[in-house]
Amino acid sequence: MVAAVVIGAAVGLAIDIGRVGGLDAWLAARGPTVVPTFDVPPYEARGRLIDVDGRAVYLDCRGAGSPMVILETGFGGGADGWGYVLDGVATFTRVCAWDRPGIGRSAARGLHSAGEAAADLRAALETAGEVGPFIVVAHSLGGVYARVFAAAGPPGGREATPRDEVLAFVMLDTYEPDLGVADDPALSPEVRAMVQQSLDDGGAAFRAGEDLDWASTLAELAPLRYTQEPALLLFADPSQHYGGHDPVVTAALIAAWYRAITVRYPNGTLEIVPNTGHFIQLERPDLVIGRVRQLVVEQHAAESEPAAAGPARG
């Protein structure tokens, strides 16, 4: 009951999907009577396996241009969870999706933290000759991996350069376990305890489903309280995640979430996407692609400003 109230039906659905091996497997397990509210396009595996410390990491990169867009999917998902977004973004810049350790085509690595997964992605990109700077698009639990990836340095102890930098985020209904709602003094002790129990239950599910060392991952998130990079935050109506309770409690939880999300992303723009659920990238791929294009265009404009000004003439 607590998890359903606090995590919400949509995030709970994502956990359920992850447990059975992804969206396609989830739909297949429920038979022909389950009709998704969104189109699930087939995925053509055009990527390759990259050797990282003797383990295979699957990386699918398409298109050309800079900045590069990294697609980080939600719990239990991999490159095949990006539907139309992967090819849509590839029409105007380079974009890479991947399978995290033990998911899809990537080899397992045993119990590991989000930081260790981020190191795998950094190493795979470098080995494959893929360079930044990056814009990271993350869905659900992928938001945790995205924030840790942005904070991680380049592989092998190499000195960081501008090509290693994360310039901006597009966050799609991301899971924010350290948002601070469980500590909001405006909530009653009972509600705060319910929120914390929900977070603990989520962490246990992530460990079981992705071999994710949740305690170590939370420790990696601890110094990343504020995300200073520009971020476009595309979220479903928060009542989907905090509903199902007494209306007063639901309203208090939603208000706490709004307070916390603006603190987390001081340079973010929050957009509640109407008539969508948790899988915004599948329900509104046009919107996601358009917002990514917006960031790419803004970055190109920023790069051209000094050149456009030209040298001073006397």
Bridge pairing between strands 48-52 and 68-72: unpaired
What are the DSSP E strand ranges found in 23-107?
48-52, 55-62, 68-72, 95-98
Helix (H, G, I), strand (E, B) or coil at 229: coil
pTM of the model: 0.87
Task: Please state at what angle helix 189-210 crosses helix 214-221, rounded to 10 degrees.
Answer: 120
**pLDDT at 19 > cutoff 70:** no
Residue 153: per-residue pLDDT: 78
Q: At residue 50, what is the residue type?
A: I
- Average pLDDT across the chain, whole number: 86
**pLDDT at 39 > cutoff 80:** no
Residue 61: CB atoms within 10 Å: 24
What are the beta bridge partners of residue 169? 136, 231
Domain 2-302 has CATH 3.40.50.1820: yes
Residue 21: per-residue pLDDT: 42
State how far the Cα of 180 lies from the Cα of 261, in Å rounded to an integer. 9
Q: CA separation (Å) from 298 to 141, 167, 262, 291, 309? A: 27, 11, 22, 11, 17
Q: How confident is the model at residue 244 (pLDDT cuts 50, 70, 90)?
A: low
Question: Across the chain, which distance is largest between two alpha carbons, in Å?
Answer: 75
Domain boundaries, the chain: 2-302
Residue 313: per-residue pLDDT: 41
